[in-house]
Structure 1
Amino acid sequence: MDDYRRIAESIAADIAAGRLAAGHRLPPQRTFARQRGIANSTAARVYAELARRGLVTGEVGRGTFVRAATPPLEPALAEPGDVRVDLELSFSVLPQQPALLAGSLAGLLRPDTLATALPPVGVAGTPAVREAVAGLLSRPDWAPDPRQILFTGNGRQAIAAAIATLVPVGGRLGVEALTYPVVKAIAGRLGVTLVPLPIDQDGLLPEAVAEAHRAAPLRAVYLQPTLHNPLGTTMPAHRRAALADLLDQLGVYVIEDAVWSFLTDAPTPLAALAPSRTILVDSLSKRLAPGLTVGFAAAPPQLTDQLATAIRSGTWTANRFALDAATRWLVDGAVATITAGKRRDARARQELARTRLAGQLLHSDPDAYHCWWELPEPWRAETFVAAAARRGIAVTPAAAFTVGTSHAPNAVRLGLAAPPLPTLSGALDTLAALARSSPEDAGVE
């Protein structure tokens, strides 16, 4: 075994035995190298190996700390947590949804109409669902061609198919430095290398894309320009135009994840600004609910066949019943009614978060269902997550969104959508009180 791996194994054993507790700060790498009598480069490899195993996390300007717990086998944010208040997953179900959706399905459950949903369907869906989804995605300044829309079982499958279409095994996919955790899991399974790209308050920096592409070609870029997860920011029109022009110049494709765009009136999508270079992916999971969803992707004509092949080979095709149900919900106005209700609900929850966490450093958009919280001293993200969990509240540390071994900001993301408003209010009050205390006061060892 390589020397650095032997050292990493010994530290991993100390962590497993509790000799190095959650939140324990490891020495700076140069100090660690002197203590162990090893080269600085070897120390760096030890820390990188520990981070790769999920045993430690780095925080910018603060150091490297033992994680609060062993990471789960499933990717972050993929499954509901076993906690009293879940502020990790960010999906909402409005009180009137079940009755509204059930009414739309009543006609589909008749024997004569149900018979049409029994046979299999291809990746192109049906003419009716293509028209309905094209209408859903259309904007005053852009409308997709229904013939270029393909369907998957959910939005994550649409993302996976888009990545598989554009990036070969071993290829490089640029992503925002803080990105959707499921993309990290998808890339790992597809053998794709993620390249973290710097961002600012307006989103992805075009010059960062150009610099990364010069270093080694990027096959594509994945981003969420509207109500970004986890930051909640929306890329302004001038940044979108600059990014679209650059992608055309470089010949780089972009996967535009529009899953949160239904909550706000955002600027023109990249799919309109760079139509020959953009695959736009979206789904019904946030508009409706994760248990009632269909994913879809609008691709340029030259990529439609390749994307269809990727969906088929990945076994990511949607089923006919889901497509027929989605068509009814879209055509009869159920989705539009629920969307309007969720826009109001998201704004109310953001206002609640601003009120209950007054004085804290929050970043988000008034229309978003989540917010980014830069924690006050002396809290560290992993320690705060552990302390919140002891109080029955699940929040997500910045490390879940950080790509590779990059240092994670000292922040957490709060998903505001799932709990009932009174429950959310109480949880935010608890977190605010926790933030005003210290790890010692909170009983974190």
Structure 2
Amino acid sequence: MDTISGRFAQIEKGPKYRALAQAIREAIAAEELAPGDKLPPVRELGWTLQMTPGTVARAYAILTDEGALKGEVGRGTFVAEPAPVDSARDLRWAQHNQPQDTDTVSFFSTKLPDAGQVALIHDAYRRMAENPVGALLNYPSAQAYEPARRAVLRWLSDTALGVVSHDDLVLSHGGQSGVSLVMQAVLKGSRPVVLVEELFYPGFRRAAQLLRAQVVSVPMDSQGVIPEALEEIATKHDAQLFCTSAEVHNPTGIFTPHARRQQIADVAARRGFHILEDDCYRLGASRAASYRALLPEQAWYVSSISKALTPALRIGFAVAPQQHSAALRRVAEYGFFGLAHPLAILTQDLLTRDETYEVMDRVRAELSRYIRAAVNGLGGFELSWSDEIPFLWLQLPEGWRAGAFAQAAEAQGVQVRAAEDFALRSGTPPHAVRIGINAQISMRSFEAAIARLRALLDNPPEQIVV
């Protein structure tokens, strides 16, 4: 029991049942628990770790399903003998998991490594074939999609969303679709005004333009938009919606702390506009309450699995304030009847499996390895980065303009995004670029591309043509 308790204490985040399961896995892997060893009874271990017997039983059940433990009626729970290796599956994973060398490298957007999610998705499709025929013959329905929405709530369990029900949530075709759904539910009139940060995710502008909305930017500082400027501009333009990324600002990586969020929420409450929070780039646990928690009647939340597992499936979700849940559902139903049923089944399958969360941890770890290689290669320059943000924001040294640097980099076989891609045409973006982490290429190719960027930074043009 001391072995399990010690390892459990070292695991800081996540639901207790998952942390306990991981502690036991680690103890088995380190041979601190051997095949045939008996685990403590659930009540005894629960009392020791200050958790309910049900929580311990859930962890044991997960490990029993995985084959790491086995239960014997009347005797207890024991460490199981190692299962035979599925060499074919391991080979498939190894083949997927071998990044290739390349001389042409795109840092235009984040590219995730395969840390086992491809095999999980393949297995999910196979399991889908066992679904009743009716699930693949009928139109989507709210009742049929409830298990998928509950699975998303599990995915969002480390997000401070305030009081939330699966009824407040709509499945979307990725985060961009979620942004569009929220705007359709909120915006009114022939020429509504949408506010964005001085630098912002371009998808906000595209979605607003489809609805004939005017987009106006708000000045920022190192913590996000400036509340006084937000209030002044919102009042001047009678704004209906403010779009923001508070946990991981795209493209700068800025984190908006709780105190600033509260000031922004207070402005929205006074001026009556809604807030749309895009949280697609966060890989770790949330660090502050979401706007939906701070402003429960006016704040909306959008995220997806694109930056943590895969963007290929286009699985996203939008969460409405409770009093606007019906409006969000209506927009989805009127627009496309709902997500395709096979995708809803896949969502439920993936987001309820513990293996998915283990894969996500491996994705984060591999991305972190590439992030640190980029930081090591670009050391000495003004760089914003974090282990849990899959891109870097690079302030260019004197002599470089963002557009010129991006062109020069592309001529060297490396694509990056210039700051002007994230600003309104009338704005004055900084001389900076965003570098998306590409973990689908070999580390050798990655480091070589970073070295080519470093060579450009070390040798800026002699003069800037105005």
TM exceeds 0.5? Answer: yes
8 Å contact from structure 2 (residues 245, 278) kept in 1:
yes
The CA deviation string for residues 96-132 of structure 1, in whole angstroms up to 9 with x for no partner, is 221233233332123x446523422146761101111
Helix, strand or coil: the match of 1:378?
A: coil
In structure 2, relative to structure 1, the CA distance for the partners of 1:365 and 1:97 (3 Å cut) is same
- Equivalences for residues 10-409 of structure 1 within 5 A: 84-110=104-130, 112-113=131-132, 115-122=134-141, 126-139=145-158, 141=160, 142=162, 144-168=164-188, 169-315=190-336, 317-409=338-430
Q: Is the 8 A contact 2:392 2:436 kept in 1?
A: yes
> Higher relative contact order at CA 8 Å, sep ≥6: structure 1 or structure 2?
1
Change (3 A) 1:101 1:114: farther
1:121 counterpart letter in structure 2: P
Shift of 1:210: 0.6
1: distance between equivalents of 2:400 and 2:235? 39
Q: What corresponds to 1:60 in structure 2?
A: none
Q: Determine the structure 2 residue equivalent to 1:16.
A: none
Gaps of 5+ in 2: 1-101
Q: Corresponding residue for 2:52?
A: none
- What's the offset of the Cα at 1:139? 3.4
| SS state at 2:217 partner | strand
Counterpart of 1:211, as a letter, is E
Q: Determine if contact 2:373/2:447 at 8 Å carries over to the other structure.
A: yes
Which position in structure 1 is the counterpart of 2:459?
A: 437
- 2:448 maps to what in 1? 426
Q: Deviations for 1:358-405, whole angstroms, at most 9, x for unmatched residues?
A: 111112333210111111121111111111111111100101000231
Does 301-310 or 400-409 show the bigger shift? 301-310
Counterpart CA distance in 2 for 1:260 and 1:89 is 11
Which whole-Å deviations, capped at 9, do the CAs of 1:8-62 have from their partners, x for residues lacking one? xxxxxxxxxxxxxxxxxxxxxxxxxxxxxxxxxxxxxxxxxxxxxxxxxxxxxxx
Render the CA deviation track for 1:284-322: whole Å, top value 9, x for unaligned.
222221112312111013222222232244438311101
Specify the code of the residue in structure 2 equivalent to 1:132: A
Task: Measure the CA separation in 1 of the matches of 2:337 and 2:112.
Answer: 24
CA distance, structure 2, for counterparts of residue 419 and residue 180 of structure 1 = 23
Cα distance in 2, alignment partners of residues 281 and 175 from structure 1: 15
Structure 2 vs 1, CA of residues 403 and 314 (structure 1 numbering), >3 Å: closer, same or farther? farther
Q: What amino acid maps onto 2:232 in structure 1?
A: E
Rounded to whole Å, the distance in 2 between the matches of 1:429 and 1:83 is 12
Moved more, 342-351 or 400-409: 342-351
Q: Which amino acid aligns with 2:314?
A: T
Q: Report if the CA contact (8 A) 2:302-2:318 is conserved.
A: yes
Amino acid at match of 1:275: P
More divergent stretch after superposition (302-311 vs 400-409): 302-311
Q: Say whether the 8 Å CA contact 1:311–1:317 is kept in structure 2.
A: yes
Shift of residue 273, structure 1, vs aligned partner: 1.2
The verdict on how the C-alpha distance between 1:84 and 1:117 changes in structure 2, with shifts beyond 3 A counting, is farther
Q: Could you give the per-residue CA deviations for residues 201-242 of structure 1, whole angstroms, max 9, x where no partner exists?
A: 111222221111221211011101011110112111211222
Gaps of 5+ in 1: 1-81
Q: Which amino acid aligns with 1:373?
A: L
The secondary structure found in structure 2 opposite 1:101 is: helix
Q: CA 1:265–1:302 in 2, change beyond 3 Å: closer, same or farther?
A: closer
**What is the CA–CA distance in structure 1 between the aligned matches of 2:204 and 2:278, rounded to whole Å?**
11
Percentage identity across paired residues of the two chains: 25
Answer yes or no: is the 8 Å Cα contact 2:158–2:285 preserved in 1.
Answer: no
C-alpha deviations, 1:44-92, integer Å up to 9, x for none?
xxxxxxxxxxxxxxxxxxxxxxxxxxxxxxxxxxxxxx99211011131
SS of 1:262's equivalent? coil
AA aligned to 1:164 is Q
**Structure-1 separation of matches of 2:225 and 2:143:** 32
Cα separation, 1, equivalents of 2:428 and 2:366: 34
Does the CA contact (< 8 Å) of 1:134 and 1:143 recur in 2?
no
